[in-house]
């Protein structure tokens, strides 16, 4: 009979675990190499639960104690290490792994973006996003998913954040903009005429334009007060948004650093509303 892995065992048993045991299991699966050599007390401290909860997880998973559970974890780590070695051997012959070229290109884009990043401009943009009376995020076509995600994340930490979904809907939102507002635009080839028009009209309302684009001389880039540039990976046959999401995350990190206290208060209020409406699975 094939021995079941620790990960599969957790997956099979997870619904029946207590809340504390689930936290421990999630921590272990996310930190296998570290948990393989930690004591039950250390794991409990990392997850902010009691040592007893960690030990009870081992019983719940069918082990006779924590040491037996840890042996199973260590076996999973060894298997993963062996698989990694096999992957490295396979990658010696590039044509065997057609995806490696795409991943390597994404990594190269991230490194290039980092080397060209102007931290002064980044902090200026962070300040503008904090102080603005409202923020309109604009990103159509291939950029829409990134714009939607950024809008969601930004609206969790401040009020009056909207995303442009189409020109008709954006007209009313443009009218609400002032010289204290920020338009945050994502624009990459092939450039959307709608995005260009929306940003032009928003600037006529006095709004500040911050953009992420492929070139400072792109239609949106050359109109922006602050423009950040990154490439898009065409190796996969479709635009890769890896570097775009990474750059967007830097703005969120910067805002969190400057507004930590206020954001924590806001998130507590949000969590209370989530609980009241019972919309999330804990």
Tell me the backbone φ, ψ of residue 219, rounded to 5 degrees. -55, -40
With 50 as the cut, is the pLDDT of residue 95 above it? yes
Average pLDDT over all residues of the chain? 83
Q: How confident is the model at residue 236 (pLDDT cuts 50, 70, 90)?
A: very low
Summarised one tens digit per residue, pLDDT across range 176-229 is 899 999 999 999 888 888 899 999 999 999 999 999 988 888 899 888 999 998
Nearest alpha-carbon partner for 259 in 132, 77, 173: 132
Measured between alpha carbons, how far is 129 from 255 in angstroms, rounded to an integer?
Answer: 8
Distances in whole angstroms, Cα of residue 186 to Cα of each of 23, 176, 218: 37, 20, 11
Domain 119-274 has CATH 3.40.50.10490: yes
Q: Select the more confidently predicted residue: 111 or 179.
A: 179
> Where would I find the beta strands (DSSP E) of the chain?
135-138, 161-164, 182-187, 208-213, 226-229
Q: How confident is the model at residue 34 (pLDDT cuts 50, 70, 90)?
A: confident
With 70 as the cut, is the pLDDT of residue 113 above it? yes
Averaged over 111-119, what is the pLDDT? 83
Q: How confident is the model at residue 175 (pLDDT cuts 50, 70, 90)?
A: confident
Measured between alpha carbons, how far is 46 from 275 in angstroms, rounded to an integer?
Answer: 25
Averaged over 112-133, what is the pLDDT? 90
With 80 as the cut, is the pLDDT of residue 235 above it? no
Q: How confident is the model at residue 87 (pLDDT cuts 50, 70, 90)?
A: very low
With 60 as the cut, is the pLDDT of residue 91 above it? no
pTM of the model: 0.66
Summarised one tens digit per residue, pLDDT across range 247-276 is 999 999 999 998 877 877 887 887 788 788
- What count of residues does the chain have? 282
Instruction: Confirm whether 6-91 and 119-274 share one CATH topology.
Output: no
Domain limits of the chain? 6-91, 119-274
Averaged over 18-31, what is the pLDDT? 89
Q: How confident is the model at residue 97 (pLDDT cuts 50, 70, 90)?
A: low
Instruction: Give the least confident one: 7-11, 68-72, 95-99, 146-150.
Output: 95-99
Q: Count the Cβ atoms, other than its own, within 10 Å of residue 120.
A: 8
CATH no. for 6-91: 1.10.10.10
With 60 as the cut, is the pLDDT of residue 86 above it? no
pLDDT at res. 1: 42
In percent, the amount of the chain with pLDDT more than 70 equals 87
Summarised one tens digit per residue, pLDDT across range 37-65 is 888 888 999 999 998 999 999 999 999 88
pLDDT at res. 11: 84
Measured between alpha carbons, how far is 232 from 23 in angstroms, rounded to an integer?
Answer: 37
Measured between alpha carbons, how far is 266 from 5 in angstroms, rounded to an integer?
Answer: 41
Classify burial at 64, counting beta carbons within 10 Å of its beta carbon; exposed 0-12, middle 13-18, buried 19 or more.
exposed
With 60 as the cut, is the pLDDT of residue 7 above it? yes
């Amino acid at each position: 009979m094939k021995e079941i892995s620790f990960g599969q065992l957790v997956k099979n048993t997870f619904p029946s675990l207590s809340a504390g045991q689930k936290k421990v299991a999630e921590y272990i699966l996310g930190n296998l190499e570290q948990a393989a050599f930690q004591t039950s007390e250390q794991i409990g401290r990392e997850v902010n639960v009691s040592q007893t909860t960690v030990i009870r997880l081992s019983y719940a998973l069918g082990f006779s104690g924590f040491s037996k559970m840890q042996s199973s974890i260590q076996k999973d780590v060894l298997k993963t290490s062996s698989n990694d070695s096999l992957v490295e051997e396979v990658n010696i012959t590039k044509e065997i792994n057609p995806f490696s070229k795409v991943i390597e290109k994404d990594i190269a884009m991230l490194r290039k973006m980092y080397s060209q990043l102007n931290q002064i401009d980044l902090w200026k943009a962070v300040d503008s996003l904090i102080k603005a009376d409202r923020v309109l995020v604009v990103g159509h076509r291939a950029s829409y998913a990134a714009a939607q995600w950024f809008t969601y994340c930004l609206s969790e930490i401040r009020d009056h954040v909207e995303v442009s979904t189409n020109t008709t809907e954006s007209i009313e939102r443009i009218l609400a903009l002032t010289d204290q507002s920020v338009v945050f635009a994502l624009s990459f080839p092939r450039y959307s005429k709608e995005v260009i028009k929306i940003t032009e009209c928003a600037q006529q309302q006095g709004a500040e334009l911050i953009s992420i684009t492929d070139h400072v001389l792109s239609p949106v880039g050359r109109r922006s007060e602050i423009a950040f540039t990154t490439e898009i990976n065409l190796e996969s046959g479709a635009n890769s948004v890896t570097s775009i999401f990474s750059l967007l995350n830097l703005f969120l990190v910067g805002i969190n650093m400057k507004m930590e206290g206020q954001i924590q208060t806001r998130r507590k209020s949000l969590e209370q509303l989530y609980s009241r409406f019972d919309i999330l699975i804990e």
